[in-house]
Structures are given as structure tokens and as C-alpha cells.
Amino acid sequence: MTEVAQECAGSRLVRGGSFLVLFPQLLIWLLVAGCAIPYVPYRTIYEDPVNYVRLEEDDAVLPEWPPGHHAHPKAFTADQMTRLLNGMTVKEHRIWLQNLFQGEAPLIPAFKDEEVALLAPQLADAFAASTYNERVTFYLSQPQTSVKRVITSGGMYVHGDQLHVLLGNWQIVYGIPTYGMIYDRRYPMRPTAAKGFDLYFEPSEAVVRQRSSVWDTIFANTKDELVIDMSRWQTSVVPQSARNHAP
């Protein structure tokens, strides 16, 4: 074999070897791409370096089925939204054995005063700008280090005369991955860790009771969503003196 032929044969061997070396990496990337969670279209209402309020498309809402449409746009004042946020509380989820030895966990406001002040007007603006197939989402972040932050996030929508509130994360310490997708900002309604809290609302008479599956009970997901009857809530916030003087 001539030197030229040997060089060409060696070159083909190297190229073939490179392909064999790269093939597993290409296969992994294809598998990752195939398993990736789809992109959720959204419109930004408010955003700063660590927080945001957005309108996300709800893929569960079908244009051809009006009964499934959200009652959007919806008019809320900043004061109404402030009262709604201040009415939400959380409690550490404990099973009966924990309650036996530790007692009931205390109720804690779901949102701090500064978080309510930030969210209330932005959520009201978001509901005013929303359409029948969008839900309002929010994301609050407190950076701890360059790779850790404490997050609270979730979403809301109005269906009929009921306000649905889902708290995906509450005061969760999220570690930013060295590589890969950052899920907490992209999917605010999805939990980044096992939920260890229950969500409550006052006045309790405005809360619509929901049915829960056995699996929801096992994984502490029975009380991470609130359904608030807006008619009952509006009635409950009317001053008692005004109701006493009503004809």
C-alpha cells in the first residue's frame, strides 16, 4: 500500500473512531431533548431581577369548549387582592403521629407584608389583562448565596365565581443546578420539592371543599390549592354593622 493510501485509510479510521466516541453523547442529548418539558408561552406583567408576575397559557383550556374557559379578564382592586393574600396562611403538614408528640403546627401568613405590597397591584393588573385561556402566575425569590435561593411561587385563575389559588412552592430552598434546566422560574406552579405544608384561608366559610385522592393525602397535596367562593368572600368582608342595618 502506498503512503498516500495508508494516510487516507488512517484518516478514515480516525474519523470513524471520532464518530464512535461522539455517538453516545449524541444519543444522550437526543434522549434529553425528547424528555424535555414543553415550553409554556407567557406574557410578563411585572419583572425585576428576582421576582415576577406573568400570564401563562393554560393548555387545559380548549377554545372550542366555552364551559371550560376561565372568567377572564377579571376586575380586582389592589385592596381586594391585598385582603385575599392576607387571608392565606400555611401550616407545616404533620401526620397524626407527629401531632400526637409535637402538637398542631402553628398557622403562618403565606405572604410577608412586603410580598403582599409587591404582589397585590401586579396581580390585579394581571387579572385585568388576562384572557379566557390564561392563568396568573407569580414567583418570589430571596437569594441566599450564588447557588441557593428561597422561593415562593404559584398561580391563580377565576372559573365561574370561584378563585382558584395553587401554591406550588412556599419558602423552599432551591439549589440552582450547575448545568441543565432551571425549573423554579420556568414552571412556578410546579413544586421543586415534596410539599410539606397545608394552605388555608380566612374567612373559612368562603372556602369550597375539594375532594382529594388517597395519593394526594399520602404526598401531602390535599391542601396546597384553595378554591374561594367570591360571592361568599364578598359577603364575609362586608362590615357587620352594615349588614345589621341592611333592609
Domain that holds residue 131: 42-244
pTM for this prediction: 0.76
Query: Quick one: pLDDT at residue 213?
Result: 55
Same domain, 27 and 56: no
| pLDDT of 93 | 63
**Cα–Cα distance for residue pair 198/170, rounded to 1 Å:** 10
Q: Name the residue among 152, 144, 148 with its Cα closest to residue 176.
A: 148
The list of the chain residues with pLDDT below 50 reads 2-22, 26-35, 217-222, 240-247
Grid cell for residue 109: 401568613
What pLDDT score was predicted for residue 6?
44
Residues 233 and 121 placed together within one structural domain of the fold = yes
pLDDT digits (tens, 9 = 90+) for 86-134: 999 998 865 555 555 555 667 899 999 999 999 999 999 999 999 999 9
pLDDT at 223: 55
- pLDDT value of position 92: 81
The predicted-structure confidence for 48-60, as pLDDT tens digits, reads as follows 999 999 999 999 9
For residues 165 and 226, the answer to whether their CB atoms sit within 8 Å is: yes
Q: Mark whether 32 and 77 lie in a shared domain.
A: no
Asked whether residue 65 falls in the same domain as residue 28, the answer is no
* Residues 115 and 21 both lie in one domain: no
Q: Do the strands 148-159 and 134-143 form a parallel or antiparallel pair, or are they unpaired?
A: antiparallel
Q: What is the largest CA-CA distance in the chain?
A: 110
Whether residue 19 is found in the same domain as residue 59: no
One domain for residues 28 and 66 = no
DSSP E strands in the chain: the ranges are: 42-47, 52-57, 88-92, 108-109, 134-143, 148-159, 162-175, 197-201, 225-229
Asked if residue 104 and residue 207 are part of one domain, the reply reads: yes
The gap from C-alpha 91 to its chain's centroid, in whole angstroms, comes to 18
Q: How far apart are CA 146 and CA 28, in angstroms?
A: 29
The pLDDT value recorded for residue 12 is 44
pLDDT (0 to 100) of residue 184: 87
Q: Are residues 31 and 46 in the same domain?
A: no
Q: Which of 118, 149, 124 is nearest to 55 (CA)?
A: 124
Are both 55 and 4 inside the same structural domain? no
Q: Are 154 and 135 in contact (CB under 8 A)?
A: no
- Together in a domain, 206 and 149: yes
**184 CB neighbour count, 10 Å cutoff:** 21
Domain count, the chain: 2
Q: How many CB atoms lie within 10 A of CB 220?
A: 17
Q: Same structural domain for residues 46 and 24?
A: no
